[in-house]
Structures are given as C-alpha cells and as structure tokens.
Structure 1
Amino acid sequence: MKKELISLLCILILGSCSDKKGNENETVDVVMVGGGIMSVTLANMLNELDPKLTMVTYERLDSVGLESSSAWNNAGTGHSALCELNYTPELADGSIDTHKAVEINESFEVSKEFWSYLVAGKKIGPAKSFINPTPHMSFVIGEANVKYLRKRYLALQKEPLFTGMEFSDDQKQIRNWIPLVMNGRDASQKVAATKIDIGTDVNYGALTSELATNLVKSGKMKLELNHEVTDFKRNSDGTWKVYTKDLKNNVTRIINARFVFIGAGGATLPLLEKTHIPEAKGYGGFPVSGEWLVCNNPKIIAQHQAKVYGKASVGSPPMSVPHLDTRIINGKKELLFGPFAGFSSKFLKNGTWADLPESFNFYNIRPMLEAGLDNVPLTKYLVEQVVLTPEQRLAALREYFPKARMEDWDLKVAGQRVQVIKIDQSTQGGILQFGTEVVTASDGSVAALLGASPGASTSVSIMLKVIEKCYKEQLKTPQWQTKIKEMIPSYGQNLSGNIALANIIRKNNSEKLGIIWKEIHRDTLKVDVP
C-alpha cells in the first residue's frame, strides 16, 4: 500500500511538472492582451491575412468589451468629424483647420469597409446589431459661436466627404430638425446648427462581441476570460514569455508569443512598461472618469433622433464637449447627455486606486509633472466637475433641452479613459496628448495602444498601422496585398482626393451596413451659405 501511495504521488508530481513545462514551452504566433475593440479588430484582420496564425486573447473580466468598448462607457458616435467641433479648430487668422476632420472621416470610412467585408461574409452581423443610421448635428448658442459654425460649414463644403451637410441659423428650421432642443427656447436667442444624415450610431461593445465570437467559434482564436497578464520577459530567440494569472483559480501560467499586442485600455501603460522596451520610456497617463445623464422617460426619448454636439466652454478640454445623444443599445433606443467628467486614480473602471501612483517611474515623472503644470485649466475643470450638484447638471442639460425635468433623468457612471502624457522632443518637457498613439518595439515584436477618443471609430486604421509596422515583410507579399485590398478596397488611396472611389466605397458600405450615403458630385459642392 505504501509503495502504491508513493507511486501515485510521483505520478502526480511528474504530471504537474509536465503540465508546467508544457505551458512554458507552448508558443503561439499572437497574444492579445485585453478583449476590447482594438484587440479583436487586429485579431480578425490578421486571421484574414493569414488563417494559419495561432492566437490567444487574455481578458481579465468575464466577457469581452466591458471596459472602454462598452456602449455605456463610450460616446458611440461613430466619430467621423461630422459634428465634433473640436476636430475643426479656428486658427489665429480666423480660418478653420479641417485637416484633422478629413483624416478622421477617412479613417471611419476604412472601419466601415472592413465591417462591410465581414458582414458580407456572414462573419459578423446582422449589421443593425452594432451600427444604425443617426443624423449628426452641431448646435451652438451665441453670436460668436454662430459665426464660428458658419465658417466651419463653409470650410467643410470644400471637402467632398462632407457632402450633404446643411446649415441654418433659423430657429424654425432648427426646430424641425430637433424639436426637443428648441421647444421652450428664448425666441431672441442666437443659435445655429448643422445637420448631416449620413452619420451613424455604433455600439462598440456589441461589435467587439461579434468580432470575438467570429474567431472563437471558428477555432481561429482561443479566448481566456478571467485571465490577467501580469508580466513579460524577452526570450533569447526574440519571442516573449507572457505571464498570465487565472483569476478564478489563482493559477499562474506562462505562454510564449512571437508577437504581443497590448490593447488593454487604461491598463496598457503599466503593462507596456513591463516589457522594458526602449520605446516605452517616458510615457505617462492621466486618468479621467465620466458620467452620463440617462433619460428614463420613453416619451422624451421618442422625440429625439440625432447626435447633437455642442462647443466646449472656453478653457475646457476636448473631452468636455457636451452632446445630447441618441443611442441604440442592445436594440433599445436610449437618450444620453454629457459627459460630465470626474477624477479617479483608477486606470480602468474595474481597476484599483493605486493605478496612477504606481505608474510613476524615473523616466516619466518629469513629463507627467510638467504636463500637470501646463494644464491648470484641465485641473480646474475636473475639480469643478467633481463638485457639481444635481441642479447644476440639470442646468447644463437645459442648455440643450430647455424643458428638461430632473425626474426624467438618472446619473450613470461611464468608463475610464487615460490621456497620454509623453515627452515633447523639442523641449524635452511633458505634454498631455489627446487622441491615440501606437507604440511599437523596433523589431515589431510588441505593439501597444495608448490613449482614447476617437480610438474605437478609427480602430481599423489604427490596426493597419500596427500591421504595417509589425508585419512589414509579410505585407509586401502579393498574397497579403491582394487580401488587404479585398478587405479594405480603398487601402493605400486617399478618399478625399478621389471622388469616384469615395462614391463606390460609400455605396458599398451603405448597402452592406444598412446606413445612409449621399453621392458626391464635384459640381454640387457648395461654397456659400443659403
């Protein structure tokens, strides 16, 4: 009996050692850290380019798309610069800079191309489960803002991709567009609005789930939920040892990866630092939380069908742009107003209060401190937002919905975003950067995405940059070139400079996704205000 017990014990020990060794020696082509829109987008693109690639995605929560990609945690606008005024700043000479607006608009078209390709192949969909046509509008109050909006409209009339936009400073016309915004408003108030019907509402949480399901069901990607990536170590052969922890069973495992993508939202920064690649030095992050007022009255929700974006107050950051926002979430129409900003030291909604202090290190402490000193208006804005009373939030809402009542709205906590802080190469100081940034190792073995809006809407364009940097040799092959142009027909071309191509792309996207488009005619581009 004693010998049998000893033999059984040896078998168990050897079996355990064998499992551990097997885990450590397992090598996959791709490890995705984080189950958000960025990771699953890249995974689907790589699978289309090379179906033989082996992939594993690790997500610390019990489902994908629950953090920044969740419908309740992001604006869901389908950011295409049709209504977001912060993408068309007024320059010192009084002109309007449309460069960023055109760039973002083109990037969103690229996203729609890839989604159309997947929907047509019945790999995701139906399209209405994640994208729905919704007019995009800008609305401003006051003579100076009306003047700005008129100039913006005129500038965008020269850009083919913005064909179909209308402008009005007539209260009666605007009331026809958005009665909820105009009813009860002072008739003498100076207001103006632009409207364009080709806008969309996108549920990125639903899209993330669709993209992940496509790969998991087909056996092309292994999805490990409730698993957290804790560390990285470089192997002698150039691959990466990825340390993961099973949060349910408290078991640590190791897997080797030829390529690692870190798309973990706010958690990306501390994970990127653990790779110790030189390119990661000097980056910092500043977390900002958000809140929405969510309408609970179906009669009010039914009266509004548009995304109405306003203008941020003087001195406020771009993230403070207020909007009265029609959303389709899980098949149900919703109405949100906000966002109201707040402060939390967490880098994720499900993070810890130690995230911010633990992110400080020798390389980023100077740029982080300098960025803080250079952004006093942001600090002031956040303090003011944190102490807002319910009455003050209601007053802000009434700027866009004059007849709003407090009992028709509930306050809901939105997601966390982490704004990038980086070294300014010209001054070696720190700058706070709005938007997104891709950081890659020199050998292309690691890529990470930092930042926030308009990330989700431009996810396909951003992941194309990752592929171009990390799979540059494969991308040169005829096979990859043929496939990528099948996935994204406009790849390598400029839509804003090619009206014929833009019409073909938008028509195809509209048919596959069930959205609205308007044909561009060069001779109908307006340069005046009606």
Structure 2
Amino acid sequence: MSNIHAKTDVILIGAGIMSATLGTLLKELAPEWEIKVFEKLANAGEESSNEWNNAGTGHAALCELNYTPEKSDGSVDISKAIKINEQFQLSKQFWSYLVNSNLIRNPQDFIMPIPHMSFVQGEKNVLFLKKRFEALSKNPLFQGMEFSDDPEKLKEWVPLIMEGRTSNEPIAATKIDSGTDVNFGALTRLLFDHLKRQNVEINYKHRVQDIKRARDGSWEVKVHDIDRGKIEYHTAKFVFIGGGGGSLPLLQKTGIPESKHIGGFPVSGLFMVCNNPEVVAKHHAKVYGKAKVGAPPMSVPHLDTRYIDNKKSLLFGPFAGFSPKFLKTGSNFDLIRSVKPNNVLTMLAAGVKEMALTKYLIQQLMLSNEQRMEELREFVPNAKSEDWSIVVAGQRVQVIKDTEAGGKGTLQFGTEVISSADGSVAALLGASPGASTAVHVMLEVLEKCFPQHMKKWEPKIKEMIPSYGVSLAQNPELFQEIHTLTARTLGLEGKQTSESEKTLQLQEA
C-alpha cells in the first residue's frame, strides 16, 4: 500500500501544554483552520507536562528567589518577577475564559489555591529576604505578601519546617495566599479533549522523523505511524514544534538559519515524595528556599504541597542529575546527535564556561539516599527516611546559544521561541517557568508567525485575555478586577482555608 500524503493548515508536534494552548487559541481565533497533532506517546501530557514530571507550581514569582536577584549596590531587582507574574496572569485569564465558555469544566481538576512562601536561613539571607519583601510589597501584583522572622509566627505558617528546629541561626519567611498548585498534566488532557471535540485530528503513537521545506514554501512532515509501521507525509503552511526536550533535534531538521548555533544541555531531576497522611497534614504551602552558592537556578530547593488525582502529597527537591537523553522516553544518543558543525563551537564554549555546573551535577549524581535526606532535613528537621521515596522527574534541555551579553556558548535559563523569518515554523525550547507562562509564550508565537492576522484577531484575544497588551503592574485597578474575576471563576476565591476544610473538600470530590 502506498504511503499517505495529506495537506492541512497547521501541524502541532507534541501533545503537551504548549501545543494544547496554541491549538486552543487558534481554534478560537480561526475556527475554520484544519489542525493536526502528532504525538509519539500514547496519550497527551505524558512527558514534560505530566504532573509527576514538574513541580506543579503556578510560577508567578511569589516565592521563587532566583527571579529577584540582588544587585551590586545591595538593592533587589524585581523587574523579572513583575514580568513573570504578569505572564501567569495571562494564563489564568485564558483558563477563566475557557471555563466561563464551558469549553473546559471543573477547574479544581487542574488548579488549587496554595500559599506560596520563601524561607531562608542565616543573617545575610534574612536581610536579603526582607529587602525583597519591601520591594515586592509596594507593587500591586504582590499585594497581601507578609514577612516574618518571628519563630512563633513561623510555627503557625510552616509547623512541619519548624518542628524539631534547634539552631539559633536567624530565619525568616514571606507568605502570600494567592499562590497556586497547577496540575499541568490534567490541564493538558482537558485541553486536548476540547480540541478533539473541535474536530482537531490528534494522532498518538505517531513519531515525527523529519521536517523539510516544500517547493511552495510549506512544510512536509515525515511521520512514522508506530502501531501500523507505516510512513505518512503531511504538508502544512505552519508547523509548531512543541516536543519538550525533543524540539531541538526537530528544529535542526528544518535547516532554517535561526536553528544554527543553538545547542541543548539536558538535565534530569529527582524529587522526594511523602504520602504519609500524618506528615502531609502538617504542611500546607509551596515553600522555596535559596540555591546554594555555585548551584544553578533550577536547583532551588522547595517543599511543596501537591494535589494530584484529588490526593494530597508533599514533594521536596529537585535533585539534579544528568542523562544524555532529551526526553525521559528519548535516546542515549540525543545529546551527541544534537552536536552539528554549526553549533559544535557553541557547545564546546559552553563546556568550558560551565565547569561549575558540571561539578554540581557530578556531586548531585553521587548523592546517596541518606545524603538527600540530610538536605531534606535542612527544611524538615524531623524527616524520617521511611516516610519519603524517590520520584524521577522530567528531562529539561537548557538552551545554549551565542549572545551579546554572555558571549559564545551561553547557557540560557528560561523559555525561548525560535521561529523562521517568514513565520512558517516555530519551536519552543528551554525550561522553567515554561508551562505557567504557556499562554504568554503562545501569544508570542502568534505575534511572530501570524502578524498579518493580529489586527483582525486582537478583539477576540482581548475578549479571552482582557489584559493583553497592558501592563497590570501599571494598572492596579485593572489587575484587582481581573484577579478577583479569575479567582472566582477558577475556584480560588476565599479558599485559602484551614487544613480540615481542605481535607473535607478533597473527600467530597
């Protein structure tokens, strides 16, 4: 039988949160467009978006200290925190629109309210946290944030962290109740269920093997139907590569100039998980600490309350590791295959510059379970080994590129869209804050790749996302209105409740 040859308007590669978000946006903006999705795994949201492959933090810079660096003059730079917070507000607005329009239902299946806290030890870190609090609390986006260095108050906020703490070292914390725990795996599945109802063709167990430019400027995607063992060819005017760590190799296959001089460095992660109800009941927050000196930003330790499948658990980590795979389901040859003549110097330069990261990863790889428990006990002094087990988290591929600021082979920590000059193909690379800012990132894709449609689409975008194109930090009244409405729609309003009430809600669910 001959191979399949088919045409469509849009091809989305990868069934994760990014493709789900872009597909959903496009179906609202251009419902007549035909969309096809290709995913090599059997279901949506099984790699980076899966609930066990990320920390589930709704990243809004409420507690993540690496988003508020201390400047050389001792002041705290909150510009990145404001930016990330505003980006998360876009996501909440879009999700609220989908709920209000009955396109997805039951927001409690993917988002829950949870206090976000920062916790530090040592005089210098306490001083930094106080300066950070003073800078953030003046901004409307961070209203309601509290600071305390009083051990008695901290016992109320984080009893598990304070229980058994004997050191006289100064400690402090900030707390804000408007934080969230987001199950990005559940959200991804809800969005793909919606897309299926919108007649989007979703092809699971279909591995994209190649992407080539056709003579007419469109893209031909070579796909392997894994179950049938057949090769298919699909052509589209626009292709989005949202394959997590697998995006870089596919981007390289396009051959576009923008794909040159870009490399990727894979980092794996481990979390410790606790399901002991007695221990879990003593903690109700996402608590982020400060990365150790010399450690990379993605190593910030945090102790998180998680809600997965209506079950509450605690996660601590991440502990970094190294695997040459770009995906958990990838190949041990992923890293070496990604080194090309056009990026080999970039990769070598990064290797020389990032010796500290290499050393850190080696140290992390050599940790025993007991050594990991010792790191946990810096957060939870009374932690018992029998209460905690190891969960292997997702693979993240950090972008390496040549930049003006960092020079050749600069390791990028963040999320980045790479697109062709004509906007016919785009790929998402990078890691955190990732999923939390999916709506912002996909709006960026629309702006880069469909500039000719943006004027026509803008009214609909503003209907879905009222703050589109507006700074919420500079418009506190609009922020307050949007914050109140999204909290009400997503079931976050007034739900920073007691632990007994939270347990009752879960039992009823």
Instruction: Give the structure 1 partner of residue 32 of structure 2.
Output: 52
What secondary structure sits across from 1:272 in the alignment?
Answer: helix
1:116 & 1:143 partners in 2: Cα distance?
A: 42
Residues 197, 516 of structure 1: 8 Å contact kept: no
2:287 & 2:409 partners in 1: Cα distance?
A: 34
Matched, 1:507 2:487: no
Instruction: Give the structure 1 partner of residue 92 of structure 2.
Output: 112
| 2:393 aligned to which of 405, 411, 414 | 414
| 1:192 aligned to which of 157, 160, 172 | 172
Residues 416, 428 of structure 2: 8 Å contact kept: yes
2:196 & 2:392 partners in 1: Cα distance?
A: 31
Deviations 1:377-400 (A, max 9, x none): 111110000000111101000111
- Please report how far the alpha carbon of residue 124 of structure 1 lies from its aligned counterpart in structure 2 after TM superposition: 1.1
Give unpaired runs (5+ residues) of structure 2. Answer: 496-509
Residues 27, 198 of structure 2: 8 Å contact kept: no
- Please report how far the alpha carbon of residue 324 of structure 1 lies from its aligned counterpart in structure 2 after TM superposition: 0.5
Name the amino acid aligned to 1:514. Answer: G
Residues 420, 434 of structure 1: 8 Å contact kept: yes
Name the amino acid aligned to 1:106. Answer: E
2:404 & 2:33 partners in 1: Cα distance?
A: 37
Instruction: Give the structure 2 partner of residue 274 of structure 1.
Output: 253
1:84-99 matches, cutoff 5 A: 84-99=64-79
Name the amino acid aligned to 1:45. Answer: L
Instruction: Give the structure 2 partner of residue 349 of structure 1.
Output: 328
In angstroms, what is the RMSD of aligned CA positions? 1.1
What secondary structure sits across from 1:495 in the alignment?
Answer: coil
What secondary structure sits across from 2:452 in the alignment?
Answer: helix
| 1:487 aligned to which of 464, 474, 489 | 464
2:453 & 2:193 partners in 1: Cα distance?
A: 26
Instruction: Give the structure 2 partner of residue 225 of structure 1.
Output: 204
2:415 & 2:10 partners in 1: Cα distance?
A: 22
Instruction: Give the structure 2 partner of residue 169 of structure 1.
Output: 149
Deviations 1:404-448 (A, max 9, x none): 000000011111000000012467511000001100001110000
Residues 272, 280 of structure 1: 8 Å contact kept: yes
| 2:341 aligned to which of 328, 343, 362 | 362
Matched, 1:454 2:433: yes
The structure number with the bigger radius of gyration is 1
2:405 & 2:373 partners in 1: Cα distance?
A: 44
Matched, 1:258 2:208: no
1:195 & 1:315 partners in 2: Cα distance?
A: 26
Matched, 1:142 2:122: yes
Deviations 1:440-472 (A, max 9, x none): 001110000000000100000000000001111
1:102 & 1:145 partners in 2: Cα distance?
A: 21
What secondary structure sits across from 1:125 in the alignment?
Answer: coil
Instruction: Give the structure 2 partner of residue 525 of structure 1.
Output: none
Residues 268, 449 of structure 1: 8 Å contact kept: yes
Instruction: Give the structure 1 partner of residue 108 of structure 2.
Output: 128
Matched, 1:156 2:146: no
2:375 & 2:342 partners in 1: Cα distance?
A: 40
| 1:237 aligned to which of 216, 222, 225 | 216
1:325 & 1:500 partners in 2: Cα distance?
A: 31
Residues 198, 517 of structure 1: 8 Å contact kept: no
Residues 108, 491 of structure 2: 8 Å contact kept: yes
1:435-474 matches, cutoff 5 A: 435-474=414-453
1:458 & 1:299 partners in 2: Cα distance?
A: 34
2:125 & 2:144 partners in 1: Cα distance?
A: 22
Decide which moves more: 229-238 or 129-138.
Answer: 229-238
| 1:65 aligned to which of 20, 37, 45 | 45
1:314 & 1:426 partners in 2: Cα distance?
A: 22
Name the amino acid aligned to 1:114. Answer: F
- Please report how far the alpha carbon of residue 187 of structure 1 lies from its aligned counterpart in structure 2 after TM superposition: 5.5
- Please report how far the alpha carbon of residue 296 of structure 1 lies from its aligned counterpart in structure 2 after TM superposition: 2.8
- Please report how far the alpha carbon of residue 103 of structure 1 lies from its aligned counterpart in structure 2 after TM superposition: 0.2
Residues 76, 131 of structure 2: 8 Å contact kept: yes
2:56 & 2:493 partners in 1: Cα distance?
A: 17
Residues 14, 243 of structure 2: 8 Å contact kept: yes
What secondary structure sits across from 2:44 in the alignment?
Answer: coil
1:186 & 1:124 partners in 2: Cα distance?
A: 48
- Please report how far the alpha carbon of residue 371 of structure 1 lies from its aligned counterpart in structure 2 after TM superposition: 1.1
1:214 & 1:164 partners in 2: Cα distance?
A: 35
**TM-score normalised according to structure 2 size:** 0.96
- Please report how far the alpha carbon of residue 125 of structure 1 lies from its aligned counterpart in structure 2 after TM superposition: 2.2
Instruction: Give the structure 1 partner of residue 190 of structure 2.
Output: 210
Instruction: Give the structure 2 partner of residue 476 of structure 1.
Output: 455
Name the amino acid aligned to 1:507. Answer: T
| 1:392 aligned to which of 371, 386, 393 | 371
1:148 & 1:125 partners in 2: Cα distance?
A: 42
1:187 & 1:356 partners in 2: Cα distance?
A: 44
- Please report how far the alpha carbon of residue 517 of structure 1 lies from its aligned counterpart in structure 2 after TM superposition: 7.4
- Please report how far the alpha carbon of residue 58 of structure 1 lies from its aligned counterpart in structure 2 after TM superposition: 0.5
Would the alpha carbon gap of residues 47 and 312 (structure 1) be closer, same or farther in structure 2, given more than 3 Å must change? same
Decide which moves more: 228-237 or 35-44.
Answer: 228-237
Residues 506, 517 of structure 1: 8 Å contact kept: no
Residues 307, 326 of structure 1: 8 Å contact kept: yes
**TM-score normalised according to structure 1 size:** 0.92
Name the amino acid aligned to 2:469. Answer: G
Name the amino acid aligned to 1:127. Answer: P
